Amino acid sequence: MTAPFKRLAIYCGSATPADPVYIETARMVGATLANRGIGVVYGGGRLGLMGAVADAALEAGGEVIGIIPEGLVRAEVAHHGCSELHVVPGMHARKQLFTDLADGFVVLPGGVGTMDELWEAVSWSQLGYHTDPVGLFNVNGFYDQLIAFNRHMIDIGFIRPQHANILIVDDALDGLLDKMASYQPHQSIFSMTADDL
């Protein structure tokens, strides 16, 4: 059976939390994608969840494409064992290349950088810069409050009904990937008229 995705962008933290469930899950994600023939596009780091995803995918024989800003290479956190390592000038170029190289996004637990990547993927989807699925892997209930806040934004009216299902959520990887594979792109803001907005 052909994998529904050629490559997925994986957004996650570069930290290593005390609870081992996060690193274990990151390794499981990397290995699972490699075993399904799905390439990993990620932030190019060797630390934390990022490094765990990459290492597990590489160990399973998968393709791993890292994208890292110059400043982080100089800080010696780049993963030089990737199938490909793209060094870019900064974060804007990094996120554009994620979007160009992948045909979907999977967000694991992380911090501020991961939140920046998540919301930019959702925002670009709303606008129409891409039509790829954005999946939120709610590991160990990590994103419960964010999911509730996203629902609050929908209920209040800051997220339009047409965009309420952009963020795809599951607490199991198989379920998340299945939902992402069946995602139907919504009406983008670029295709709307003033009356729609």
Which pLDDT score, from 0 to 100, does residue 195 have?
Answer: 67
Rounded mean pLDDT, 103-118: 97
Each domain of the chain, given as residue ranges in start order, spans 7-187
Give the mean model confidence (pLDDT) for residues 25-49. Answer: 97
pTM of the shown model: 0.94
Phi, psi torsion values for 114, nearest 5 degrees: -65, -40
When comparing pLDDT for 194 and 120, which is higher?
120
Q: Give the separation between CA 65 and CA 63, rounded to whole angstroms.
A: 7
Q: How big is the CA angle at 144 (ends 146 and 166), to the nearest 5 degrees?
A: 55
Question: Hey, what CATH topology would domain 7-187 get?
Answer: Rossmann fold (3.40.50)
